[in-house]
């Protein structure tokens, strides 16, 4: 399960020279050029291993319903297209001008033909339209009563996920949404600033996250795994870097995860970590970030860091969650993510080291 | 009887028209010259917009590329689209409207020659206004549909969006004025006998387009005005904190935007309906049906806008309605495709470059149309929207449709406009590179989209499987770039040094081919009487007798087609061409007011970036110039 | 219009429909304006009742249950509505006078049209300033934003019309609007009546419908 | 000028055939209908839920009166009516479309 996650870990572009990559890619292109588009088409249907954001490997009831409809339109579309191309090719070959050929007869039209080519497309469209309408109503039905409700909030450029608890509290995490397999999930989509769009292709279609509205997605994850997604509505500079992932657990594992997330932050034991804690909770960080169980308890505009170390990535899927990337992030968020809403606080390398040490204990 | 003397001969005004020189172009009110101005200006913008696309593609050539920063990328893809749509393709169509439509209906000029010039100059100034921010690095960066509330001052405080709002206001004005002009021209300036159902298909599609433009642009004007009020006066239209709803912008934009995309394809349907019959030597199959399906597309185009908003969450009823209404449009469009195929069927097809573009159009546009229908299946669109699948659709309809069709039009009408052929050898190279290049560029985008690549992303990570296809697409775009450079070279060279073209080089059927290439400034020495839908193919003696070219008979050679006389070859630099004065034809005198009024109007919108005093000054200038316009001697109209 | 004047005028030269091109252009322009006002009204309708704070058009309850005082002055606006309708009457009478060649009388009717238009603008400025003092600005809430934009756009059209009619009235007074020029007045009339008709739509939608 | 050139020409009189009296009458009707609208507004509680359609119908009457008589569409060429009705229909479509989307199908706001 983790291998794919690793594969997607963002590799810094500086690691490989641009020329080398392009040449090697050209070579691989040449190798693949022979089977050409066929390979692509097959690859397209092929697994989420190569294409973690594919729409062709649906893993929820919602995604499967869409997939059926989408495949129908693809078959029909390819069929119509191929038919038109064949007719066109035939005509162009058969009726090309030949020297000495007589001038063609002047035909002005034919009512039967006109009716035929009005009706045939109409029938084909009806074949798409009926399941379309049916799927629209099926996929937008109200959620079942036992559905797990998750509050999703889009921020420029990260995601916040909240799990309302029976006691009225909400457990917050960022950029990684955890769900149990087999239970309907209803996402309540809201935005903190501009329009975003929530999209995890293998879980189903996207839905815009519109400020001033509450949108919904209802789906039941069917298979354990990690599924990648990203924001799909242009939302400013770093729209490309507003990613997320969904982790589908066995129900028991999910409960375990949730129980862990409900815990307050781990208390430091190490003295360096203690320094880090102080820098974070007493410093500027607390103005935006919350760490439950510490004095940093009021920040609402930034990811909740209580269990930040338990996440696979940071900064909405852009960096790995390791010391090096954390350092890079805190050192200069904007160089990682253009216009990131977290300021560059001009911290000294030492301070950052302590902070990172602390953050890494927040498991 | 073949001629009428319908024209009342009015003595020419004392002031002779200047014929050459910069000033004559600045003050021209001749629809043909204005058409040529549109032609060169829009081609230049096409190169700029294409260059922007190439930069975008270069950034995407490999994962995690650092060729462009996010800010530049966002500006470039926005300006690429805005420039292509508003500054390159719509005006290139206007070039043909201007040049061809009056000739096709047998008119001496458009109904309001000065307003026509005004439209051009407003377009030019609007285009230049949108070029300024390139140099400031402050181009619009909200995408071509510039969704609120990202475009609100709170989230986009810079000048970028201001340029978008004001620039499009200026351009919208130009479109509204010219569309009104063309509606009136086509309804009211037809030659005797040119009944509505005898009009050339291109003229028909121009009429429908103009009607859509006059109405749709008004909606855009209001959407922009509301955003303008939010940005400049603190109004609350799209401010969520005061209850504003960003989705309203989407409704207004797409009520305009969807008709807009049909505005960009209907004239192409007209061009194709001219080129295909000409080069298969057969009349257009099902003329009536083609025209009526065009009208139907124009109507239905108004009731589908929310198919751009399936992901917004409008509820199942609205989604179903818009999904089905959208699918309906495939029927009239399909009818056109089938009628073109039937026109080709049994024809004697000649593969000139124009014809190659036209037939390739059928294939590429069909691909785009089919991906459109896939979008219309609303739940499936939830997977496709805002991904490269949409980008593939956009470019198969815009490039495979609009651009291919315009290229066909360029090769077809260039001889008429410039009296010279475009080089056919270069043309063939241009065609094949374009055709292959565009499929290499845009076809993989279908897969990219369905495999999960969102659009408008300045970069993508390694490991998502996007690399190879992006590389292919980028290489393909360089091929298109190369092809476009060939075209640019070809038009520039051939306009001066191409092979001379006779009056009717292609043996075509429509009235514009009855005049020398290029036609004299007064078009027809005597307004012809039209007896047929294809005046040069049917009853060819009408032409031989009926349309004198204002020249001596012995300087002409006959064009024959299928043994029938079609027209006469003539040469542009012919000394014997008679001028309008010689013939006693009254033409409206040149006027400097259009460019001045255009300047004042553009200044008014630009002044929002400056001071209110500037706005006031601009308003006063506009008012004074409108008076001058209304009372200018030698002109009528207002 | 006599035939000599017609012939001198290329826009009139035997048009294919026999209709005047300028008039047709003007009708097309009006068609376009329908969409302009249509979109503004659509915006107003979409945001009807969506303001989060007062003042409101009619006395209503806000989303938070607070009473929101109504601000529109129906009697006042009824008078200005009547005023605008009557200006349309003056306009047709002016046109009829021009067509009959009675220029002095035409000048009076046209002048009346402009005058009643100016009165309407007076009412509107009074209304705007009152609302302003009661705390409704373009920025206050959605009602303020949509109300001022919609009625302001209409007011701007009336303003242009007042200038237009004044010019026509002066031309008529100076004897420069003979029957051969009646088309100019007719087009001016189309403009004026269109602006009136827009008010016929705005008045119930904004003022009367709760 | 041959009449052939007037393909869809209607024999349109430059001036309406009637005198100016009709304009005064129309003015009177307009006043009365406006009065009716205002009455509807004040007697809303009496009329009940029908006020809105009633007021809209009355204003449609006014609209038609002005357009047909003051703007002469009743007497003028059908081409003009066509152009105007096209624009007015699309404008109405935009208004009703948006109104329905916001006030009838407003599932989420
Ligand atoms: C020239 C411009 C043009 C044209 C002609 C079209 C034509 C069509 N478009 Fe397209 N469209 C755009 C330009 C255009 N579009 C652009 C620019 C966007 C994106 C905007 C943006 O987001 O930036 C867009 C987006 C877009 C969307 C929204 C996608 C999204 O963002 O999620 C949809 C959804 O329904 C759609 C549908 C259609 C349909 C059904 C047609 C139909 O008219 C097509 C009809 C034609 C055919 C179907 C082919 C020929 C027919 C036959 C051979 C008959 C038999 C066929 C069948 C039975 C299927 N288009
Ligand atoms: C209107 C028509 C039109 C046309 C013709 C094109 C043409 C092209 N488009 Fe464009 N495109 C759009 C309309 C169009 N596009 C729209 C509406 C969008 C959506 C934008 C949005 O999301 O808001 C879009 C978006 C878009 C994207 C997606 C960006 C993103 O979502 O991040 C991409 C990416 O590949 C792209 C590529 C191209 C390419 C490679 C071409 C090629 O065909 C270009 C061909 C190249 C040339 C014509 C260049 C020739 C010139 C030279 C070689 C240099 C000479 C230069 C000078 C002398 C100045 N386009
Ligand atoms: Cu958030 Cu794009
Ligand atoms: Cu559309």
Q: Which of A253-262, B348-357, C50-59 has the lowest mean pLDDT?
A: C50-59
Contacts of B216 in chain C (CB under 8 A): 35
CA B76 – CA B258 distance, rounded (Å): 23
> For the segment A198-222, what is each residue's pLDDT rounded down to a tens digit?
999 999 999 999 999 999 999 999 9
> What's the pLDDT at B412?
96
Integer distance in angstroms from the first to the last C-alpha of chain C? Answer: 49
Mean of pLDDT values over B62-85: 95
> What's the pLDDT at A297?
87
Residue among A201, A226, A179 nearest A58 (CA): A201
pLDDT at B623 over 50: yes
Lookup: tokens for B276: 């295909």
CA A331 – CA B197 distance, rounded (Å): 72
Q: Determine contact, residues B617/B96, Cβ cutoff 8 Å.
A: no
pLDDT band at A21 (very low <50, low <70, confident <90, very high): low
Mean of pLDDT values over B331-336: 96
**Residue of chain D with shortest Cα separation from A215:** D108
Distance, CA of B298 to chain centre: 16
CA A153 – CA A155 distance, rounded (Å): 6
Mutate to test the pocket of ligand 1, among B140, B208, B261, B335 (most ligand atoms within 8 A of CB): B261
Q: Determine contact, residues B504/B559, Cβ cutoff 8 Å.
A: yes
CA A16 – CA B396 distance, rounded (Å): 34
β-strand A158-164 against A243-249: which pairing, if any? unpaired
Contacts of D107 in chain B (CB under 8 A): 313-315
Instruction: Among the bound ligands, name the one nearest to the CA of residue B458.
Output: 2
Does D108 contact chain A (CB < 8 Å)? Answer: yes
Q: Which of B4-8, B534-538, B634-638 has the lowest mean pLDDT?
A: B4-8
pLDDT band at A20 (very low <50, low <70, confident <90, very high): low
Residue among B532, B399, B574, B570 nearest B477 (CA): B399
Mean of pLDDT values over C13-31: 87
Q: Determine contact, residues A151/A170, Cβ cutoff 8 Å.
A: yes
Q: Return all residues near A252 (Cβ < 8 A) that are at least 6 apart.
A: none
Write out the H or E segment, with its range, that includes residue B407: helix B404-418
DSSP string, B230-295: HHHH---TT-GGGT--HHHHHHHHHHHHHHHHHHTTHHHHHHHHHHHHHHHTSPPTTHHHHHHHHH
Q: Determine contact, residues B417/B495, Cβ cutoff 8 Å.
A: no
Q: Return all residues near C201 (Cβ < 8 A) that are at least 6 apart.
A: C37, C41, D59, D63
Ligand 1 atom, smallest distance to B373 CA: 40
Q: Which of B346-350, B580-584, B606-610 has the lowest mean pLDDT?
A: B580-584
Is B471 close to ligand 2, i.e. is its CB under 6 Å away?
Answer: no
Is B77 close to ligand 2, i.e. is its CB under 6 Å away?
Answer: yes
CA B139 – CA A227 distance, rounded (Å): 36
C-alpha of residue B369 to centroid of ligand 1, in Å: 5
> What's the pLDDT at B550?
36
Q: Give the phi and the psi of residue A180 in degrees, each rounded to 5.
A: -85, 150
> What's the pLDDT at B583?
64
Q: Whose CA is nearest to atom 1 of ligand 3?
A: A196
Distance, CA of B606 to chain centre: 25
Q: Which of A264-268, A350-354, B575-579 has the lowest mean pLDDT?
A: B575-579
Q: Determine contact, residues B210/B266, Cβ cutoff 8 Å.
A: no
- The pLDDT mean for chain C works out to 89
> For the segment B497-521, what is each residue's pLDDT rounded down to a tens digit?
888 888 888 888 898 988 888 888 8
Q: What's the sign of the alpha-carbon dihedral B222, B223, B229, B232?
A: negative
C-alpha of residue A98 to centroid of ligand 3, in Å: 58
Q: Return all residues near B470 (Cβ < 8 A) that are at least 6 apart.
A: B60, B61, B62, B63, B444, B448, B460
Torsion of CA B148, B150, B155, B156, to 10 degrees: -90
Mean of pLDDT values over A55-80: 95
> For the segment B539-575, what is each residue's pLDDT rounded down to a tens digit?
544 444 444 443 333 334 444 443 444 444 444 444 4
Contacts of B248 in chain D (CB under 8 A): 98
Task: Report how many helices (DSSP H) and strands (DSSP E) chain A contains, helices first.
Answer: 10, 12
Ligand 2 atom, smallest distance to B54 CA: 40
Catalytic residues of B: 80, 109, 144, 174-175, 258, 260, 262, 273, 307-308, 333, 336, 455
Share of residues in chain A with pLDDT > 70 (%) = 87
CA C150 – CA C44 distance, rounded (Å): 8
pTM of the prediction? 0.92
Collapsing DSSP to helix, strand or coil, A73 comes out as helix
Mean of pLDDT values over B81-94: 97
CA B556 – CA B543 distance, rounded (Å): 14
pLDDT at B586 over 50: yes
CB-CB neighbours of B136 under 10 Å = 11
Mean of pLDDT values over C78-102: 93
pLDDT at A24 over 70: no
β-strand A176-180 against A243-249: which pairing, if any? parallel
> For the segment D55-85, what is each residue's pLDDT rounded down to a tens digit?
999 999 999 999 999 998 888 888 899 999 9
CA B293 – CA B204 distance, rounded (Å): 11
Q: Determine contact, residues B21/B33, Cβ cutoff 8 Å.
A: no
Q: Determine contact, residues B134/B79, Cβ cutoff 8 Å.
A: yes
Residue among B401, B369, B480, B394 nearest B445 (CA): B394
> Looking at per-residue confidence, does C39 or A271 come out higher?
C39
Residue among A304, A306, A273, A300 nearest A287 (CA): A300
Lookup: tokens for B39: 């032609």
Surrounding residues of ion ligand 4, Cβ less than 5 A: B 258
Residue among B609, B604, B599, B596 nearest B169 (CA): B604
Query: HSE (CB half, 13 Å, CA atoms) of D60?
Result: 9
Q: Whose CA is nearest to atom 58 of ligand 2?
A: B47
Share of residues in chain B with pLDDT > 70 (%) = 89
> What's the pLDDT at B554?
34
Lookup: tokens for D101: 């989307």
Collapsing DSSP to helix, strand or coil, B414 comes out as helix
Q: What's the sign of the alpha-carbon dihedral A217, A246, B69, B434?
A: negative
Is A56 close to ligand 3, i.e. is its CB under 6 Å away?
Answer: no
> What's the pLDDT at D5?
37
> What's the pLDDT at B505?
87
> For the segment B409-426, what is each residue's pLDDT rounded down to a tens digit?
999 999 999 999 999 999
Mean of pLDDT values over B391-414: 97
Is the Cβ pair B314, D105 closer than 8 Å?
yes
Is the Cβ pair C10, B229 closer than 8 Å?
no
CA B591 – CA B585 distance, rounded (Å): 18
Q: Which of A67-71, A353-357, B564-568, C176-180 has the lowest mean pLDDT?
A: B564-568
Query: Exposure string (b/e) for B242-273, b if CB count within 10 Å is 16 or more?
Result: bbbbbbbbbbbbbbbbbbbbbbbbbbbbbbbb
Nearest CA distance, A260 vs chain B (angstrom): 31
Does D46 contact chain A (CB < 8 Å)? Answer: no
Is B61 close to ligand 2, i.e. is its CB under 6 Å away?
Answer: no
Q: What's the sign of the alpha-carbon dihedral B212, B218, B219, B224?
A: positive
Contacts of A88 in chain B (CB under 8 A): 341, 344, 359, 362-363
Residues pairing with A314 in the sheet: A319
Q: Which of A262-276, B255-269, B613-627 has the lowest mean pLDDT?
A: A262-276
Lookup: tokens for C188: 């001016």
pLDDT band at A23 (very low <50, low <70, confident <90, very high): low
Ligand 2 atom, smallest distance to B441 CA: 40
> For the segment A217-273, what is each residue's pLDDT rounded down to a tens digit?
999 999 999 999 999 999 999 999 999 999 999 999 999 999 999 999 888 888 888
Is the Cβ pair D20, C92 closer than 8 Å?
yes
> What's the pLDDT at B434?
97
ipTM above 0.90, yes or no: yes
Ligand 3 atom, smallest distance to A196 CA: 1
Is A235 close to ligand 3, i.e. is its CB under 6 Å away?
Answer: yes
> What's the pLDDT at A269?
84
Write out the H or E segment, with its range, that includes residue B378: helix B378-384
Residue among C24, C14, C11, C3 nearest B527 (CA): C14
pLDDT band at A4 (very low <50, low <70, confident <90, very high): very low
> For the segment C113-154, what is each residue's pLDDT rounded down to a tens digit?
999 999 999 999 999 999 999 989 999 899 999 999 999 999
> What's the pLDDT at D95?
93
CA C202 – CA C208 distance, rounded (Å): 9
Residue among B310, B335, B342 nearest B323 (CA): B310
Does D105 contact chain A (CB < 8 Å)? Answer: no
Mean of pLDDT values over C161-184: 91
Does D109 contact chain A (CB < 8 Å)? Answer: yes
C-alpha of residue B305 to centroid of ligand 4, in Å: 6
pLDDT band at B479 (very low <50, low <70, confident <90, very high): very high
Collapsing DSSP to helix, strand or coil, A10 comes out as coil
> What's the pLDDT at B54?
97
Query: Exposure string (b/e) for A300-323, b if CB count within 10 Å is 16 or more?
Result: eebbbbbbbbebbbbbbbbbbbee
Cα→Cα distances B262→A4, B257, B265, B294, B539, Å = 43, 9, 5, 10, 35
pLDDT band at A37 (very low <50, low <70, confident <90, very high): low
- The pLDDT mean for chain B works out to 88
Q: Determine contact, residues A8/B463, Cβ cutoff 8 Å.
A: yes
Q: What's the sign of the alpha-carbon dihedral B573, B577, B581, B586?
A: negative
Contacts of C34 in chain D (CB under 8 A): 84, 87-88, 90-91
> For the segment B127-176, what is each residue's pLDDT rounded down to a tens digit?
999 999 999 999 999 999 999 999 999 999 989 999 999 999 999 999 99
């Amino acid at each position: 399960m983790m291998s794919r996650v690793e594969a997607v870990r963002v590799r810094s572009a500086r690691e490989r020279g641009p020329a080398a990559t392009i040449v090697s890619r050209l070579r691989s292109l040449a190798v693949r050029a022979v089977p050409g588009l066929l390979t692509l088409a097959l690859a397209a249907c092929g697994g989420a291993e190569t294409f973690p954001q594919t729409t062709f490997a649906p893993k929820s009831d919602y995604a499967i319903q869409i997939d059926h409809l989408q495949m129908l339109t693809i078959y029909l579309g390819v069929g119509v297209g191929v038919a038109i191309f064949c007719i066109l090719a035939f005509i162009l070959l058969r009726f090309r001008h030949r020297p000495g050929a007589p001038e063609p007869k002047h035909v002005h039209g034919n009512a039967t033909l006109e009716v035929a080519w009005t009706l045939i497309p109409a029938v084909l469209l009806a074949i798409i339209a009926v399941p379309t309408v049916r799927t629209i109503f099926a996929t937008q039905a109200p959620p079942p009563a036992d559905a797990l409700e998750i509050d999703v909030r889009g921020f420029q450029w990260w995601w916040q996920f909240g799990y309302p608890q029976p006691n009225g509290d909400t457990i917050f995490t960022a950029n990684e949404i955890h769900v149990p397999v087999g239970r309907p999930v209803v996402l309540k989509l809201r935005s903190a600033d501009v329009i975003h769009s929530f999209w995890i292709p293998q879980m189903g279609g996207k839905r815009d996250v519109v400020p001033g509205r509450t949108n919904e997605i209802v789906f039941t994850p069917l298979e354990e795994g990690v599924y990648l997604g990203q924001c799909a509505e242009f939302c400013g500079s770093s729209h490309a870097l507003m990613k997320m992932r969904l982790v589908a657990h066995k129900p028991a594992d999910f409960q375990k995860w949730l129980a862990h997330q409900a815990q307050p932050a781990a208390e430091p034991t190490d003295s360096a970590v203690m320094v880090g804690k102080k820098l974070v909770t007493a410093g500027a960080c607390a103005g935006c970030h919350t760490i439950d169980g510490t004095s940093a308890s009021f920040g609402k505009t930034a990811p909740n860091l209580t269990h930040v170390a338990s996440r696979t990535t940071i900064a909405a899927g852009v960096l790995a969650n390791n010391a090096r990337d954390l350092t890079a992030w805190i050192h200069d968020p904007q160089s990682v993510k253009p216009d990131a809403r977290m300021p560059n606080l001009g911290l000294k390398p030492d301070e950052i080291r302590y902070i990172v040490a602390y953050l890494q204990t927040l498991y | 009887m073949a001629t009428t003397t319908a024209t009342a001969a009015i003595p020419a005004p004392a002031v002779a028209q200047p014929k050459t020189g910069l000033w004559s172009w600045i003050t021209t009110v001749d629809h043909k010259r204005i058409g040529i101005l549109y032609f060169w200006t829009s081609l230049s913008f096409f190169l700029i917009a294409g260059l922007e696309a190439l930069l975008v593609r270069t950034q995407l050539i490999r994962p995690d590329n650092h060729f462009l920063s996010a800010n530049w990328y966002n500006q470039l893809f926005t300006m690429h689209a805005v420039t292509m749509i508003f500054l390159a393709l719509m005006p290139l169509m206007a070039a043909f409207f201007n040049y061809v439509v009056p000739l096709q209906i047998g008119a001496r000029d458009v109904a309001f020659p000065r307003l026509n010039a005004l439209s051009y100059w407003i377009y030019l100034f609007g285009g230049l206004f949108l070029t300024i921010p390139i140099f400031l690095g402050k181009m619009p960066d909200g995408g071509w549909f510039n969704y609120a509330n990202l475009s609100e001052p709170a989230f986009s405080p810079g000048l970028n969006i201001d340029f978008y709002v004001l620039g499009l206001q200026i351009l919208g004005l130009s479109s509204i004025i010219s569309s009104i002009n063309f509606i009136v021209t086509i309804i009211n300036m037809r030659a005797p006998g040119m009944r509505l159902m005898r009009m050339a298909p291109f003229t028909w599609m121009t009429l429908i387009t103009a009607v859509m433009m006059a109405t749709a642009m008004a909606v855009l004007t209001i959407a922009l005005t509301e955003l303008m009020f939010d940005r400049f006066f603190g109004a609350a239209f799209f401010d969520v904190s005061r209850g504003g709803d960003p989705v309203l912008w989407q409704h207004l934009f797409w009520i305009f935007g969807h008709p807009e995309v049909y505005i960009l394809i209907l004239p192409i349907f007209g061009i194709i309906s001219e080129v295909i019959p000409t080069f298969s030597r057969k009349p257009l199959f099902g003329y009536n049906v083609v025209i009526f399906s065009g009208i139907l597309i124009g109507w239905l185009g108004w009731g589908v806008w929310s198919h751009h908003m399936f992901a917004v969450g409008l509820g199942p009823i609205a989604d179903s309605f818009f999904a089905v209404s959208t699918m309906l449009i495939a029927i009239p469009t399909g009818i056109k495709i089938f009628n073109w195929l039937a026109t080709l069927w049994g024809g004697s097809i000649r593969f000139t470059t124009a014809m190659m573009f036209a037939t390739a159009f059928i294939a590429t546009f069909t691909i785009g149309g089919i991906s459109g229908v896939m979008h219309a299946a609303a739940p499936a669109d939830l997977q496709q929207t805002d991904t490269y699948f949409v980008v593939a659709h956009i470019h198969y309809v815009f490039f495979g449709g609009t651009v291919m069709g315009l290229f066909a039009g360029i090769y077809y009408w260039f001889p008429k406009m410039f009296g010279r052929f475009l080089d056919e050898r270069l043309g063939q190279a241009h065609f094949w590179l374009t055709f292959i290049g565009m499929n290499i560029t845009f076809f993989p985008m279908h897969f990219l989209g369905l495999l999960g690549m969102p659009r408008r992303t300045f970069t993508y990570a390694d490991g998502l499987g996007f690399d190879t296809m992006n590389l292919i697409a980028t290489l393909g775009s360089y091929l298109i770039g190369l092809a476009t450079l060939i075209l640019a070279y070809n038009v520039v060279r051939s306009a001066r040094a191409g092979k001379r073209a006779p009056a009717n080089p292609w043996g075509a059927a429509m009235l514009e081919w009855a005049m020398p290439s290029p036609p004299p400034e007064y078009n027809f020495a005597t307004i012809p009487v039209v007896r047929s839908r294809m005046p040069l193919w049917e009853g060819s003696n009408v032409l031989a007798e009926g349309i004198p070219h204002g020249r001596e008979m012995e300087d002409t050679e006959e064009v024959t087609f299928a043994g029938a006389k079609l027209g006469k070859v003539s040469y542009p630099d012919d000394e014997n061409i008679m001028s309008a004065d010689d013939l006693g034809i009254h033409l409206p005198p040149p006027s400097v007011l259009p460019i001045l009024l255009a300047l004042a109007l553009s200044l008014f919108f630009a002044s929002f970036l400056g001071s209110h005093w500037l706005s006031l000054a601009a308003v006063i200038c506009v008012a004074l110039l409108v008076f001058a316009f209304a009372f200018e001697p030698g002109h009528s109209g207002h | 219009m006599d035939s000599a004047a017609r012939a001198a005028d290329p826009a009139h030269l035997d048009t294919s429909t026999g209709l005047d091109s300028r008039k047709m252009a003007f009708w097309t322009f009006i068609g376009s304006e329908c969409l302009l006002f249509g979109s503004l009204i659509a915006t107003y309708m979409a945001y009807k009742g969506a303001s989060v704070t007062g003042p409101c058009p009619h006395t209503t309850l806000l989303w938070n249950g607070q009473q929101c005082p109504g601000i529109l002055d129906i009697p006042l606006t009824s008078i200005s509505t009547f005023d605008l309708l009557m200006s349309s009457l003056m306009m047709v009478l002016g046109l009829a006078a021009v067509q009959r060649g009675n220029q002095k009388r035409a000048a009076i009717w046209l002048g009346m049209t402009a005058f009643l238009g100016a009165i309407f603008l007076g009412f509107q400025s009074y209304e705007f300033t009152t609302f302003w003092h009661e705390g409704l600005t373009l920025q206050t809430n959605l009602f303020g934003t949509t109300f001022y934009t919609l009625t302001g756009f209409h007011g701007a059209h009336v303003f242009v019309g007042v200038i237009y009619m004044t010019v026509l009235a002066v031309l008529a007074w100076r004897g420069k609007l003979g029957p051969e020029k009646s088309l100019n007045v007719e087009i001016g009339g189309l403009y004026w009546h269109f602006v009136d008709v827009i008010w016929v739509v705005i008045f119930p939608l904004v003022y009367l419908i709760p | 000028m041959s009449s052939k050139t007037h393909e869809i020409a209607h024999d349109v009189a430059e001036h309406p055939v009637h005198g100016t009296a009709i304009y005064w009458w129309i003015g009177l009707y307009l006043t009365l209908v406006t009065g009716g609208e205002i009455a509807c507004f004040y007697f809303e509680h009496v009329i009940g839920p029908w006020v809105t359609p009633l007021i809209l119908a009355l204003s449609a009457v006014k609209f038609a009166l002005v357009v047909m008589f003051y703007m002469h569409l009743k007497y003028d060429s059908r081409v003009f009516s066509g152009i105007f009705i096209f624009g007015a229909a699309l404008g109405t479509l935009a208004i009703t479309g948006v109104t329905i989307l916001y006030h009838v199908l407003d599932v989420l706001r």
